[in-house]
Amino acid sequence: MKFGLKLWSINTNLIDQAVHLIDEKVFDYIELMVIPDSEIKPFLIDVPYIIHIPHEKFGVNIGDPAAKEYTLQKINKSITWADRLNAKHLILHAGHGSMQHATDLLHGLSDSRVLIENMPKVGLDGEAMIGHSPEQIEELVGDSDMGLCLDFGHAVKAAVSLGVDYKEYVKRFVGLRPRVFHVSDGTLSGERDEHLGIGEGEYDFGFLMECVGSGTKLVTVETPRLNQNSLDDDTYNCKCIKTLIF
């Protein structure tokens, strides 16, 4: 199992700390969110990368026909970054809006590195999200070589919205053989995304890590960073997960 540190491409002040943590085997790779108008040069270093394509917060939404040109522009920019950084995967939110438009847009992509990240059923602003069920993920991926990035927190929140057992719901996503996992904690009462620190919520992390399984699996830690100049919170949360499995 390999653990990823989540950085945005504006977090250039954290690069030296990130490299140190990878050298010390606390983390194994960086999952880098490509923020629009940021520069790749500071990240041209010899570490393993996964790329996260910018999401709805930055105007990228595969389900919105009005955003198609901008969305494709940012996807292609992220693909360029992935090429230059030799990234193994590119993660893309399923977004919200039209399932048909999202499916059509994805079917026009030919990059097998793209992984669709599952969504909660309800967005932070009450949006009706797409990609919140295994069936929708299968429809989005279609016959392509793209796969799934399973965000455990998103799956749990979708289960809360649907009023079903979250463990059984998560298992259905696991059946799609995710290539990357996102982990954070959260409560079982609300349906909005939370991304709490490990141990601050109610998720059963023994169960979630069993779902990841054995072998070379990629697990990105997506927990809060209270001090934007330090990776201490990231380190603490990663070590909390490791105590559950090693």
pLDDT tens readout for residues 20-31: 999 999 999 999
Amino acid 216: pLDDT: 76
CA pseudo-torsion sign 167, 168, 171, 173: negative
What pLDDT score does 56 carry?
A: 86
How confident is the model at residue 27, as a pLDDT? 98
Write the DSSP symbol of residue 67.
Answer: G
Rounded CA separation 3/107 (Å): 30
Query: Please, where are the H alpha helices in 13-67?
Result: 15-23
Strand partners, 147: 115
Helix axis angle, 205-212 relative to 166-174, nearest 10°? 10
Interval 119-161: pLDDT, tens:
999 988 889 999 999 999 999 998 899 999 999 999 999 999 9
Mean pLDDT of 84-95: 96
pLDDT confidence of residue 238: 96
Give the number of other CB atoms < 10 A from CB of residue 187: 15
Q: Tens digit of pLDDT for each residue in 17-70?
A: 999 999 999 999 999 999 999 999 999 999 999 999 999 889 899 999 999 999
> What's residue 137's pLDDT?
97
- Domain region containing 38: 2-245
CA distances from 28 to 5, 19, 23, 181, 238 (A): 8, 10, 8, 14, 11
- The CA–CA distances, whole Å, from 63 to 66, 102, 122, 213 equal 9, 4, 14, 32
Tell me: the pLDDT tens digits for 185-228? 999 999 999 999 999 999 999 999 999 987 779 999 999 999 99
Say which CATH number the domain at 151 has: 3.20.20.150
Residue with tokens 């990228």: 60
Tell me which residue has tokens 């070590």. Answer: 239
State how far the alpha carbon of 52 is from the alpha carbons of 118, 135, 205, in Å.
Answer: 13, 23, 24
Confidence band for 82, pLDDT divided at 50, 70 and 90: very high
Encode pLDDT of 223-244 as tens digits: 999 999 999 999 999 999 998 7
147-151/29-33 β-pairing: unpaired
What H or E segment, with its residue span, contains residue 107?
helix 99-107
By residue count, the chain amounts to: 246
Q: Could you give the number of structural domains in the chain?
A: 1
Residue 245 pLDDT level (bands cut at 50, 70, 90): low
Helix axes 68-85, 99-107, angle to 10 degrees: 40
